[in-house]
Structure 1
Amino acid sequence: MAPLFLGRYSRLVFLGDSNADNGNVLRMTHGTHPQPGSVYWQGRYSNGKMWCDHLADMSGVPVLNMAYGCATIDNGVVSGTVPMPGGPRAEVPSVADQVGQLGALVGCLVPDELVFVQVGSNDLNSLIDSGPTYVRKREFSPELLAERLAAAIEYLCVHIGARSVVVMNVRPREDYPGVLALGDPLKLEQTRQATAALNRAIRAKVDALQRALGNSHELVVFDTHAFQKAVTQDPAAFGIDPDTRTPCYVPGAADGSTPLMLSPDSKLFVDSAHLAKRAQALLAADVVRALALRAMARS
């Protein structure tokens, strides 16, 4: 099913954050982030191939990946930063920026290219993370974030020629090991509500944009949230370790203790937020299945 379905496209394009970054931050930071020599595989925020890598392998078509770890929807609202070697942190391109960079690079996409967009988690993380990674430029609501995302997708379609766009919604952040480790029921509930609200707003904005663009375009929201919830509710059915709260990689402490690697082939999470390699493969298969079934239903 996968090669047959994905092979209809001439190229796959990926925009987004660390959930889709295939090494752009590693190149930006001159090979220093995410931590080389640790668990992260070839600059991915996972211990193996990401879902986007699996789609590339399945499709056999060229891939253009412009996603950056720590990216947000719009740097005018919230910006994400990464540590640079020997210097201050640097702002990474938001999805709005990535869309502009894509236009500058290719001019115009051809109609049979498929674009994936995965972003939003870092925007919400800025609400509970007081560290230096995220810089909030203004107050925002889930509706504002979805509005900015829809504006970027509209520009992608109207000015850069995208006809087929898949928007990956936000995974259930309340189940992230890093959020659970806070041990703060108020932040946990705030995270759950904000994630649900953003996903509702994304669905509404994308549906409205689809109606405005008409049948010449196909905009799809893939429910990444439901995918992860299904795994956490019955991990054994997916070949996942039943302890979904503990990631496979636990960094060493400041005292120099050795990092721990636990069940790297079966854990749901690789670290405090990102999916480990088995979950990445499962996600890729679910994406292809959902899109192929949708295509068959429309034919």
Structure 2
Amino acid sequence: MLLNRYDRLVFMGDSNADSGNVFAMTKQTRPMPKHVYMDGRYSNGKMWVDHLSDFATNSETIMMAYGCATIDNDVVAGTVPMPDGMRKEVPSFVDQVALLRAQVGKLRSNDLVFVFVGSNDLNSLVDTGPTYMTRQTFTPELLASKLRMAMQELCLVVGAQNVLVMKVRPREDYPSVLALNNPNAILLTRQVTEALNVAIGEEMAELQRELGGEYVVDIFDTYSFQKRITQDPAQFGVDPDVQTPSYNGIDLVNPDSSLFLDGAHLAKRAHALLAAEVVRHIVLSLATK
């Protein structure tokens, strides 16, 4: 398997990649309930990160991602409820870079880092609840520039030479966003998601030019990946109702074929599809650079 060429797979970002860090941080109280979220994952089965770890039988996995994480807590911070009833900030991507450096010192030249973040920053624009603490007015362009600065640290200081940055999924299709029943909020969500993805592409391309050929900073288009499923779910073995999550507040409906598990997170079928597409991208794009 191609992934075995990499010594270690490093996963950074938010709940799209977190396979248990928030679960451990909250003393196994989030995400809940346990019969819905498998082993502290934000899905009802294996996530794409688990599948990649399974494929890479000779590679070590380093999990740095935290559910609710943002790009930079100095701009907007994600929080999770703790067992004592208080809310605690989770490490942003900026923080995760520092934590990774403290944990490993320097990455090896053949480690592969995945970065999946940005969704929660945008969610803070429409979610007025206690989950997010906004400390600075921001634009998608500012978020992308913050991501780039953290990526510079990741590459030049921590030593990441192979990085795959995942674009933000189409937030305008999230059941939680559609449930707002607010056309303006849905339009805003689509606009800022598209703008952030464009800005991420531009910032990462510029970073690649600055770093030179010794480094590979590649992009995976998660946005288009999910859009392809919603446009033709049958082709992907996904339930045709792509707007209703599997978890209805009590039990799971169509857990093996639903696109969404809850209002935001992908169910296990979608994660298996995502893993296959990421591997395909690595074979056709990243590994050839």
TM range (shorter): over 0.9
Show CA shifts across 1:157-186 (max 9, x none).
000110000000100000001101110000
Q: 1: distance between equivalents of 2:95 and 2:36?
A: 29
C-alpha contact (below 8 Å) 1:114/1:164 kept by paired residues = yes
Per the TM alignment, residue 37 of structure 1 is displaced from its structure 2 partner at its CA by 2.4
Counterpart CA distance in 2 for 1:8 and 1:278 is 27
Q: For each residue in 1:183-229, what CA deviation from the matched residue of structure 2 results, as whole angstroms up to 9, or x when unmatched?
A: 00000000000000000000000000000000000000100000000
Residue equivalent to 1:282: 273
Conserved in 2, the CA contact under 8 Å of 1:20 and 1:50?
Answer: yes
> Using the alignment, how far apart are the partners of 2:11 and 2:264 within structure 1?
20
* Structure 2 counterparts to residues 103-142 of structure 1, below 5 A: 103-142=101-140
Residue of structure 2 equivalent to 1:78? 76
- Distance between the aligned counterparts of 2:286 and 2:162, measured in 1? 12
Assess, with a 3 A threshold, how the Cα gap between structure 1 residues 268 and 214 changes in structure 2: closer, same or farther: same
**Partner Cα distance (1:44, 1:250) in 2:** 18
Match of 1:56 in 2: 53
* Alpha carbons 1:14, 1:66 under 8 Å: kept: yes
**TM-score (ref. length: structure 1):** 0.95
CA shift for structure 1 position 116: 0.3
Provide the identity percentage. 59
Residue identity in the other structure for 2:223: H
Deviation at 1:105, TM superposition (A): 0.8
Given that 2:216 and 2:286 are in contact with CA atoms closer than 8 Å, whether structure 1 keeps it comes out as no
User: What is the CA deviation profile of residues 104-157 of structure 1, one whole-angstrom value per residue up to 9, with x for unaligned ones?
Assistant: 111100100000000000000000000000110010000000000011111000
Closer, same or farther: CA 130–112 of 1 in aligned 2, 3 Å = same
How many residues align? The count is 288
Give the ranges of 4+ consecutive aligned residues of structure 1 lying more than 4 Å apart after TM superposition: 295-298
Cα distance, 1:171–1:295 mapped onto 2, change above 3 Å = closer
Aligned position for 2:256: 265
Q: Match for 1:286: what amino acid?
A: E
Q: Which blocks of at least 5 consecutive residues in structure 2 are unaligned?
A: none
**Aligned residue identity for 2:63:** N
Amino acid across the alignment from 1:10: D
* Cα distance in structure 1, aligned partners of 2:81 and 2:107: 33
Q: Partners in 2 of 1:143 and 1:66 — Cα distance? A: 25
Counterpart contact for 2:75–2:137, Cα < 8 Å: yes
Equivalences for residues 20-169 of structure 1 within 5 A: 20-60=17-57, 61-169=59-167
TM-score with structure 2 setting the length? 0.98
- The corresponding residue for 2:242 is 244
Identify unmatched segments of 5+ residues in structure 1: 252-258
Q: Distance in 2 between matches of 1:193 and 1:295?
A: 28
Matches of 1:35 and 1:273, distance apart in 2: 14
The alpha carbon displacement at 1:38 in A equals 3.2
Residue 147 of structure 2 aligns to a residue in which SS?
Answer: helix
SS at match of 1:249: coil
Cα distance, 1:296 vs structure 2? 6.4
SS at structure 2 position matched to 1:202: helix
CA distance in 2, matches of 1:133, 1:227: 27
Mapped partners of 1:168, 1:118: distance in 2: 5
| Alignment map for 1:195-214 (pairs within 5 Å) | 195-214=193-212
CA–CA distance in 2 between the matches of 1:86 and 1:31? 13
SS of aligned partner of 2:285:
helix
CA contact (8 A) 1:248 1:263 kept: yes
Separation in structure 2 between the aligned mates of residue 126 and residue 10 of structure 1, nearest angstrom = 36
CA–CA distance in structure 2, aligned partners of residues 289 and 138 of structure 1: 38
Map of 1:256 onto structure 2: none
> Separation in 1 of the partners of 2:24 and 2:286?
36
